[in-house]
Each structure stands twice: as structure tokens, then as C-alpha cells.
Amino acid sequence: MRLWPTLRLSINPKIMANDTIFNANDQRPELEPVGYETGSLTGVFQELVFTVDHKKLGLMYIGSALLFFVVAGLLASLMRIQLAIPGNTFLPPDVFNQSFTMHGTTMVFLVGMPMAFGFANYLVPLMIGARDMAFPRLNAFGFWVFFFSGFLLYFSYIGAPGLYAAGSAPDVGWFAYSPLTSSAFSRGHSTDYWTLSLMLGGIGSVATAINILVTVFCLRCPGMTLGKLPVFVWCMLVMAFLVILAVPCLSACQIMITLDRYLGAKFFDTQAGGDAVLWQHFFWIFGHPEVYILIMPAFAITSEIIPVFSRKPIFGYPVMVAAVISIAFISLGVWAHHMFCVGMVSLANAFFVTSTLLVAIPTGIKIFNWLATMHGGKLRFELPLIFCIAFLFQFLIAGLTGVMLAVAPFDWQLSDSYFVVAHFHYILIGGLLFTIFAGIYYWYPKALGKMPHFKLGLYHFAFFTIGFHLTFLPQHFLGFLGMPRRIYTYQAERGWDEWNLISTIGVAFQAVGIVFFVANLIYSFRRGKKAGDDPWDAWSLEWTTTSPPPEYNFATLPVVKSRRPLWDAKHPDDPDWKHE
């Protein structure tokens, strides 16, 4: 067995996305794996390490994101145990502070974004009828950079105290407000692990985003005009665009902190005329688009699942796409709504109230259009749709609490309180994670060729939903009662005791839900029913090929005439393109 197998790339360069890809009659031979044994563990390992296939990389993204999700979830459970009762001493303050920093950083950069990239990677080429991403090697590069940036971040737990005599994991919070990150207030190297890891991860994110964007523009199959892209692809395109614009701003911030910490630069040195608020502006110029980067996959997945399980096309396609684009556009101008308390002048506050509330309009349109898609349909309550309906309900609540937070005077009370914690967990768990589950159940048969188990999925849904609301609904009330976020302990009788206890109990339910989820993934992979090419009777191009798809995706590149190519094929008497 050769240790260094020939890359697939060099076996058949035509599989790369080059100009020959548009030759529809091009029949491709089945590729033979070269250089490693299939089946053996080493073989699988080598396959994973050396692959440049968008589907494998997509699954690797999703898999590692799930891994990091479990780790960050465990950190969250530790924090909830600490907060279950007042004056608890389960975690020392520093460990608690490290936990929420690592939890937040992990969930945003190592779970949310990779999850989005995973879905985009796996599905975008399939949905637009391409054989791979535009730059397959860059794709692998992006994945591995992300993966190792995660390890770098977690290495701080061992590396920071042991080898270099420093603190331990970073404890500055995921938005790391200066001057807390300056060398005066954050001794040792924990903050450097945070900075370097995000800088590294940023490179990977931008690389992958460029790849997605270029793939969508340059590799569409014949007939797939921009107006016929599935809404999923539109959302991912917008996400990629936001990543390209926003993530470099974060990298700039990280460069600045590194210069401050290592070369004694004065960017955020308040003793030398530096401005602590400038960091907040720079961070949130990245940070707010980042929130929309994270929620885009939710829009993308919902917009695929709701039509298929309602048996109707998406209601108001052009408006849906316009709404996504305008959400992205507005999101570039709302950053300072995270900063209503820093003492901006009243005019600036009023401006950011206005721009933030404007986001509510396209978001509202999306919710109504999804409802209109379901209206008059025949709802099939399969797992994906069940999760998506829960998403609609929870996203509605998250959106409304978002409107409350946008009203600056109310925000002066709610900002940095548990209300905010509740709000963004309704977005990121109730919104994003529920659709991720929906997406995983929906495309599981495509990716692995087996149907997910319905009953197990239903238990997953029941436990997780109950746990989710138990955990996060009470946190709204904690905010009303004046509980600030990021406190490792609190005194009794401030009206917080019961709500906190309920919140912690909810975590146990969520954990049980996750166990059912993982069990379902494993069980269905081993024992699941064979799925066939198109188990859900769906309409987009990924369902035209086999499950799992071959390495080259399509033996013959499809030619599309409408937004639902498979509808056209199944209903030749009343094809979509007559109505679009």
C-alpha cells in the first residue's frame, strides 16, 4: 500500500471544474480508487485526508461541526449546572468564564459557520447541476484550515497553562471587548490562542465562501439562470457574499489585537489615546453580518423543505430572493444596535434603531411567504417538515424579541441581560439548529442512501423541543428581572432561583434529544430502509442522481427549464416553465 496516494485530481483532470464540464454528452468512466485499500480503516482515513470531492468535504464539515457542537453543548451543560441554584460552587469563576467564551466561540465559528459550509458544499453543486465546486483543492484547504483552527482553539486548554505558563482557555467572551484582551488584563497566552485560531479560521472561511460564490456563478448547468436557482442556492450565495465582506473585518480586528499584544501597538490601549469603543464598532461590523451568515442556512433549508412537504412551489420566489438579499444588505448597516449602552449620541442611537427595525420587514415577508407556501398544500408530516414548523414558531418568537431589542430604550434594560441570551438562542437553536436537524433528516437519504428512522426522530424532536423551551423561555423572564449575562453565580431571593432551576432542567431534556438524534444517525445508517434516488418526491436536481451520488454527480449534465426541473419531468403535461 502506498502511503501517499495519487490525488484524484491528477487521475482525471476533467473531473475538475473546467470548461469541458459543459459538454452534456460527455460520458465519464467510473473512477477507480487508486493507491489505497478501500474498506480498511487506513483507507477510510486516507480517503478523508486526501479527498477534494465536494460531497465528502461537505459531510466532513457537517461531521466536525456536530463534534464541536457536542463539545460546546457539554460546556453549556456545565454552566447550567453551576447556575441551577444560587451561590453554587460547582465551577470556579475562571472556569465558568472560560466555558462561556469557548462555548460562544465554538458555536459561532466551529459549529454555525462550518455547518453552513457543509450544507453549501454538499448541495450547491448538486442543485445547480455541477460536478464539483469551482476550486476543489481550495475547498479541501478551507476545510482543513477550519478543522485545525478548532484544534488550535481547544489546545489552549492544555497548551496555555502547561507549556507556556499562562492562564488556560480564553476567558474574554466571544466578542472579547477591549481592553479586556490587552496584555495588561489578559496575561499569558489564552487570548492569543483565541486570536490566532479565529484568524486562521477566517482564512478558511473566506476561501470556502469565494469557492461557493464562484461555483454558483460559473458552474450552473445549461438553463440554470440566476432566476431559476433554488432558493437554497440563493441563500448560500448571499451567505458567501456576506462572509467575503464580513470575515476580513474580523481578521483585521485580530491582526490589531495581535499587534497590540505582541508589538505594543496602541489600537485599543486606552492609556495611550486608544479607543475601547472602536473595537466594538469593528467587531460588530463583522459580528452583525455574521449573525445573518449563521441564519442563512436556516432560510435555505426551510425554503427547500416547506415546498416539498406542502406539495407546492415556494410562494413568491422573486420576493423571497429579494428579501434574502435585502436582509443581507441591511445587515451591513445595523452593527451598533449591539452598542446602545456605550453612550452614542441620541441621533446615532435613533439611526440604528431605524436600520435594525427595517430588518423586520423582509424577515416578516419570509415568514408570511412560507406560511403561504403551506397554505392550500397537502402537508406531509415527515421529520423535516416537523422540525421546520417548529422553526417557524421559534423563529417568530426570536424575531419579535429581536424587535424588542431594537427599540433602544427597551434595549437599555435588556442589553447584556439574560433576555439577550434567550433571544439569540431562540435564533441559533430554535431557528438555525432546528433547521439543521430538518436538513440532516431531509438529505440523509441522499447522502447515505438510507432513510432516517421516523420514530427515533420523533423522540428526538419531542425531547429536544421541550428541553429547548424549558431552557430558554425562562431566560426571557430572568432578563426582565435584572439578571445580567455572563455571571458565574448569583445571590438567592432575587427572583431568579426558580427560573434558573427550570432552565437547567431543560438541558437534560435537550441532552436526551441529542442522544436520540445520534442514535438515529447510527441506527439508520446500519439498519435503515434503502432510500432510492428520490424518496421525498422532491423537485430539485440533487434528487435526479443516485443516492449517494457518484463522485461525478451526474453522468449526463442536466439541462433545466424551470425552478423545479423534476416537477417538469414528473408532470410533462403541466410543466413549471409555463407559469414562471
Q: Can residue 218 be called a binding residue for other proteins (CB under 8 A)?
A: yes
Q: How far apart are CA 214 and CA 235, in angstroms?
A: 14
Q: How far apart are CA 372 and CA 111, in angstroms?
A: 31
Total residues found in the chain within this entry: 580
Q: Can residue 515 be called a binding residue for other proteins (CB under 8 A)?
A: no
Q: How far apart are CA 308 and CA 310, in angstroms?
A: 6
Sign of the four-CA dihedral 390, 391, 394, 397: negative
φ/ψ of 332, rounded to 5, equals -75, -10
Q: Can residue 528 be called a binding residue for other proteins (CB under 8 A)?
A: no
Nearest to 426 by CA among 476, 491, 387: 476
Concatenated DSSP letters of 96-152 = HHHHHHHHHHIIIIIIIHHHHHHHHHHHHHHHTT-SS-S-HHHHHHHHHHHHHHHHH
Q: How far is the CB of 81 from other proteins (least distance, A)?
A: 16
User: Of the listed pieces 64-72, 110-118, 172-180, 448-456, which binds other proteins according to CB under 8 A?
Assistant: 172-180
SS3 for 417? strand
Contact residues for 210 (Cβ-Cβ < 8 A; gap 6+): 135, 138, 240, 244
Q: How far apart are CA 60 and CA 536, in angstroms?
A: 24
Q: Can residue 244 be called a binding residue for other proteins (CB under 8 A)?
A: yes
User: Of the listed pieces 118-126, 274-282, 514-522, 527-535, which binds other proteins according to CB under 8 A?
Assistant: 274-282
54-83 residues in contact with other proteins (CB under 8 A) are: none
Rank residues 13 and 409 by Cβ distance to other proteins and give the closer one: 409
275-314 residues in contact with other proteins (CB under 8 A) are: 275-278, 282, 285, 310-313
Q: Can residue 559 be called a binding residue for other proteins (CB under 8 A)?
A: yes
Q: Can residue 343 be called a binding residue for other proteins (CB under 8 A)?
A: yes
Among 47, 533, 534, 580, binds other proteins (CB under 8 A): 580
Q: How far apart are CA 56 and CA 87, in angstroms?
A: 48
How is residue 31 annotated by DSSP? P
Among 1, 6, 12, 24, binds other proteins (CB under 8 A): 24
| Torsional class of 353: left (φ above 0), alpha (ψ -120 to 50), beta (otherwise) | alpha
Among 34, 38, 70, 264, binds other proteins (CB under 8 A): 264
Among 148, 155, 329, 480, binds other proteins (CB under 8 A): 480
Rank residues 285 and 507 by Cβ distance to other proteins and give the closer one: 285
SS3 for 274? coil
Q: How far apart are CA 151 and CA 140, in angstroms?
A: 17
Q: Can residue 537 be called a binding residue for other proteins (CB under 8 A)?
A: yes
User: Of the listed pieces 33-41, 427-435, 474-482, 519-527, which binds other proteins according to CB under 8 A?
Assistant: 474-482
Q: How far is CA 26 from the centre of its chain?
A: 36
Which residue has cell 424579541? 401
Among 484, 502, 518, 534, binds other proteins (CB under 8 A): 484
Q: Can residue 360 be called a binding residue for other proteins (CB under 8 A)?
A: yes
312-341 residues in contact with other proteins (CB under 8 A) are: 312-313, 315-319, 341
85-144 residues in contact with other proteins (CB under 8 A) are: 92-94, 97, 134-135
Q: How far is the CB of 51 from other proteins (least distance, A)?
A: 20
Number of residues this chain uses to bind other proteins (CB under 8 A): 140
Q: How far is the CB of 177 from other proteins (least distance, A)?
A: 5
Q: How far is the CB of 305 from other proteins (least distance, A)?
A: 14
Among 11, 214, 466, 473, binds other proteins (CB under 8 A): 214
Among 85, 473, 481, 511, binds other proteins (CB under 8 A): 481
Using the CB atoms, write b or e for 337-360: b if 16+ within 10 Å: bbbbeeebeeeebebbbebbbbbb
Which residue has cell 456536530? 66
User: Of the listed pieces 61-69, 119-127, 205-213, 454-462, which binds other proteins according to CB under 8 A?
Assistant: 205-213
Q: How far is CA 163 from the centre of its chain?
A: 33
Among 13, 162, 222, 532, binds other proteins (CB under 8 A): 222
User: Of the listed pieces 115-123, 193-201, 376-384, 425-433, which binds other proteins according to CB under 8 A?
Assistant: 376-384
User: Of the listed pieces 145-153, 292-300, 360-368, 439-447, which binds other proteins according to CB under 8 A?
Assistant: 360-368
Q: How far is CA 258 from the centre of its chain?
A: 27
Q: Can residue 396 be called a binding residue for other proteins (CB under 8 A)?
A: yes
Q: Where are the alpha helices (DSSP H) in 332-345?
A: none
Q: How far from 476 is each of 304, 311, 479, 510, CA to CA, in Å?
A: 31, 37, 5, 18
Q: How far apart are CA 455 and CA 150, in angstroms?
A: 34
User: Of the listed pieces 260-268, 422-430, 512-520, 522-530, which binds other proteins according to CB under 8 A?
Assistant: 260-268
ω into 548 cis (within 30 of 0): yes
| β-bridge partners, 484 | 417
Among 7, 159, 454, 486, binds other proteins (CB under 8 A): 486
Q: Can residue 381 be called a binding residue for other proteins (CB under 8 A)?
A: yes
Q: How far is the CB of 178 from other proteins (least distance, A)?
A: 8
Among 177, 329, 454, 523, binds other proteins (CB under 8 A): 177
Q: How far is the CB of 315 from other proteins (least distance, A)?
A: 5
Q: Can residue 34 be called a binding residue for other proteins (CB under 8 A)?
A: no
Q: Can residue 416 be called a binding residue for other proteins (CB under 8 A)?
A: yes
φ/ψ of 484, rounded to 5, equals -75, 155
Q: How far apart are CA 547 and CA 543, in angstroms?
A: 8
Q: Which cell is 139 given?
A: 475547498
User: Of the listed pieces 4-12, 239-247, 441-449, 511-519, which binds other proteins according to CB under 8 A?
Assistant: 239-247
The 10 Å Cβ neighbour count of residue 318 is: 9
Q: How far is the CB of 121 from other proteins (least distance, A)?
A: 16
Q: Can residue 183 be called a binding residue for other proteins (CB under 8 A)?
A: no
Q: Can residue 242 be called a binding residue for other proteins (CB under 8 A)?
A: no
Q: How far is the CB of 461 from other proteins (least distance, A)?
A: 14
User: Of the listed pieces 148-156, 211-219, 499-507, 542-550, which binds other proteins according to CB under 8 A?
Assistant: 211-219
